[in-house]
Amino acid sequence: MSHSAPARPLSIAASGPLVGTLTVPGDKSISHRSLMFAGLAVGESRISGLLEGEDVLATAGAMRAMGAQVERTADGVWQVHGVGVGGLLQPQVALDMGNSGTSTRLLMGLVASHAITATFIGDASLSKRPMARVTEPLSRMGASFTTAPGERLPLTMRGLCPAVPIDYTLPVASAQVKSAVLLAGLNTPGITRVIEPVPTRDHSERMLRGFGAQLTVEETPQGRMIAITGEAELRAQNIEVPGDPSSAGFWMVAASVVPGSDVTIRNVLMNPTRIGLVTALRMMGASIDELAQRDVGGEPVADLRVRHAALTAIEVPPDLAPSMIDEYPILFVAAAFARGTTVARGAHELRVKESDRIAAMAAALGLAGVRVSEHEDGLSIEGRDGDPLPGTRDARVASLLDHRIAMSMAVAGMHARAAVTIDDAAPIATSYPAFVDTARALGALPQWMNR
């Protein structure tokens, strides 16, 4: 996964309304965590609906390398026999994380409180992403690190057992950093506490409780304090992974901007810490109806019916950022079709994702004919009031090995006069392997091109 694969250019142009019912891949955040927690539990866990993209498969491979038995059955259910908290084994090979920052940062948390040494490697994109925000708290707990310049991959870490419990206040809102510290705390004597001044996605907390960890959440004047009691014993679980709201976001925007569209997305995770895009699109006038609301494994789930609607520009509330940080690229596409100028600020985190998503989307939308102003923490986008984009004609959008840039600009092409062409859409497989097939099933006409 860390080796470069041949580029796969993708071209997509307007082809009429998008109509149909679909399911999106299992939620990526929950998929990663279900494999990790099951790998630390005692007994056999069964996971259905797991996202089988490259990022999650990197997590599965790493857990196997550290002793867990992880197998996919013929009916698509994943069986995991865990090693127990404290039972991770010394990996005999480097852990190849591919493009997955989530795998890397959370697994570093697991390793930190085990007496093992692990080397993490990744692809060119992941190797540019800073890891200091994770190495800093884990170092306080006793882990030590050797990294490439700039606290980047390749990275070798040596865990400490017993590790030292800490109280840690997140300097930047990050569910990955929070989760890494909590996972290190699982095998650390005493109580490890994380304080988040701004709430972030809470899948780790929900799922750790479900597996039997002693975890409390308390609102304090400093922020939300999560405390985990170490030397836990996790119990095997059966897990049903709901649909990923980040993946659903592409079809929410596509149906909203392509005239005549009517799309229903089944079984979408509606966790309040993950639906910032739904909130922002509704503020813009999107028609999104929640059907069959229900609870699946402690998480709220619904079917979403999305119909074409005239969108109006908004100033995106910065406090939505933690609940939609991965969805900003597709929100920028929605803004390109709105009436007026949308201003989205407060999203500094986008600078250090799989790519610099602020710069990448400014360049991509500009190439497709949208007027964009770039800020340090976001974009201002002059919308086209429902008119199609001019498209990229002979130019190619640079995906920068970023799956969300590629899929967002594919959606932009679904309402463009000339095709939008993406230089390399192969990274889509990291999170949504069936994206192109789903687009075709709804009526779009994406075409893989010769290099």
Mean pLDDT, the chain, integer: 95
- pLDDT for 325 beyond 80: yes
Out of 326, 385, 387, 424, the active site residue is 326
Residue 155, in any domain of the structure: yes
Query: Is 179 assigned to a binding site?
Result: no
Domain finish residue from 222, 239, 256: 239
Distance from chain centroid for Cα 207: 17
Q: How many structural domains are present in the chain? A: 2
| Alpha carbon distance 7, 236 (integer Å) | 41
Helix (H, G, I), strand (E, B) or coil at 208: helix
Domain finish residue from 178, 211, 239: 239
Per residue in 343-353, pLDDT (tens digit) is 999 888 888 78
135 and 51 share one domain = yes
Query: Is 357 assigned to a binding site?
Result: yes
Predicted pLDDT at 451: 67
Strand partners, 119: 156
What's the pTM?
A: 0.85
Question: Minimum mean pLDDT among 19-23, 58-62, 208-212, 318-322: which range?
Answer: 318-322
Per residue in 184-215, pLDDT (tens digit) is 999 999 999 999 999 999 999 999 999 999 99
Confidence of residue 286 (pLDDT cuts 50, 70, 90): very high
Query: Is 326 assigned to a binding site?
Result: yes
Active site residue 326: yes
285 and 232 share one domain = no
Mean pLDDT for 3-21 is: 88
Query: Is 29 assigned to a binding site?
Result: yes
- pLDDT for 3 beyond 50: no
Which range marks the domain in which residue 58 is found? 28-239
Sign of CA pseudo-dihedral 73, 435, 124, 107: negative
Helix (H, G, I), strand (E, B) or coil at 256: helix
Query: Is 373 assigned to a binding site?
Result: no
Encoded amino acid at 69, one letter: Q
Mean pLDDT for 39-50 is: 97
Confidence of residue 246 (pLDDT cuts 50, 70, 90): very high
- Residue 418 sits in a domain of what CATH number? 3.65.10.10
In degrees and rounded to multiples of 5, residue 410 shows phi and psi of -65, -40
13 or 372, higher pLDDT: 372
- pLDDT for 432 beyond 60: yes
What percent of the chain clears pLDDT 70, i.e. is strictly above it? 99
Residue 1, in any domain of the structure: no
Domain finish residue from 239, 264, 297: 239
Closest of 93, 363, 44, 386 to residue 234, by C-alpha? 44
- pLDDT for 312 beyond 50: yes
Query: Is 8 assigned to a binding site?
Result: no
312 and 434 share one domain = yes
